[in-house]
A and B are shown apart, each in its own frame.
Chain A
Amino acid sequence: MTTDILTERSGPRDFAQGFKDSLPIVIAAAPFGVLFGALAVDNGFTVFEAVLMSATIFAGASQMVGIDLFGQKVAPWLIVLSIFAVNFRHVLYSATTGRRIAHWNPLQRLFGFFMLVDPIFAEAERRGERIGTVTFGWYAGAALPVYVFWVVEGWIGALFGKVMPEPEPLGIDFLLPIYFLGLVMGFRKRPFWLPVVAVSALASIIAYRTIGSPWHVSIGAAAGVLLAAAFAPAARQEGADR
């Protein structure tokens, strides 16, 4: 691969491709962005606070947990700790994607890490796997729409939450699991994919039933990652054979 191709790829076309890749994410996340705004105001947030939370934390599940605890009048430090616990899986994303964006400048990397939510992480990994490199242009094209829509949706939800339609008949409450399943399937060519998925699924369900949410995410993920690490030599062999 020559430098020319790389430079061309980081141009406007790269940004456009990232933008295109972000569309399913924007669609799947939209109901939750609006729902968050509505629930936040319902739990005693002002519209400004709801928008501030979407703009600075930018992580759906942890925002929901945060406003839920806020509504229950839980101690502030415990709310912060819970947000941290829900987002702890991002440590793994950070370590994984950090390898792919090592060639960006420091400011670009700060931007990249700030935007590193579940779907952006997964799309970046897919991109790296397919193209071999993740350019800043592509990443910005993929991340910016997701971020902007997320913040605007929180604002709309906070303003008009009371007049939202019921989500169930339209299936929008289940769009995220479907989308995440699609991402899981997208990684099926990686070594040890099936054992990792099976072990993570089993461990997360057991943890969900015994310890409870959100710990099932960290525990289930740890089980799958440790399995892959334990069988590393075999995994490398398989990778080399391809």
Chain B
Amino acid sequence: MSTTVWVILAGALMTFLTRIGGHLVLSRFERIHPRVEAGLNAVPAAVLTTLVAPAAMNGGPAEIAALATGVAVSWIAGGMMPMFLTSAAVLILLRHLLG
């Protein structure tokens, strides 16, 4: 097998370890401390925010407007699809108008 295949398989193993590791560590404890519980409940918002923030920072007017639209639509309408489609429409429209 080529080096590339070995790199891929080792990368896959390491990735699987991250995906099962947190559970393996946590399941060793009988009771979960309230602080750990509160921290875990914050995981989705905390991690997903870090995937948006740098993109927002590097974005131009079209990108910022699309994200602002997304926040507004989520707040008013809720649900993923309306927000996703409106934001994408604003982005495409503004890129054509401004670009």
Are the CB atoms of A235 and B67 closer together than 8 Å?
no
- Residue of B35, B44, B75 near A187 (CB, 8 A) is B44
- How far does the alpha carbon of A153 sit from the alpha carbon of B44 in the complex, in Å? 27
* B24 contacts across to A, CB distance below 8 A: 94
Interface size on B, residues (CB 8 A): 69
Chain A, interface size category, equals 35 or more
Of A57, A83, A174, A196, which contacts B46 at CB under 8 A?
A196
Please give, as numbers and ranges, the residues of chain A lying within 8 Å of B49 by CB-CB distance: 184, 196-197, 200-201, 204, 220, 224
Which residue among B37, B54, B70 has the maximum number of chain A CB atoms within 10 Å of its CB? B54
Q: If the complex has contacts A76-B7, A232-B35, are A180 and B41 also in contact, measured as CB distance less than 8 A?
A: no
Instruction: Indicate if the CB atoms of B42 and A227 lie closer than 8 Å.
Output: yes
B residues 2-47 touching A (CB-CB < 8 Å):
2-12, 14-27, 32, 34-47
Scoring B residues 45 to 73 as 1 if CB is less than 8 Å from chain A, else 0, what string do you get? 11111111111110100010011001100
Which residue of chain B is the closest to A21 with respect to CB atoms? B80
Chain A residue nearest to B25 (CB atoms) is: A95
A131 to B81, CA, bound (A): 19
Binds B, one of A3-11, A117-125, A134-142: A117-125
Residues A223 and B52 in contact in the complex (CB < 8 Å), given A92-B40, A178-B67: no
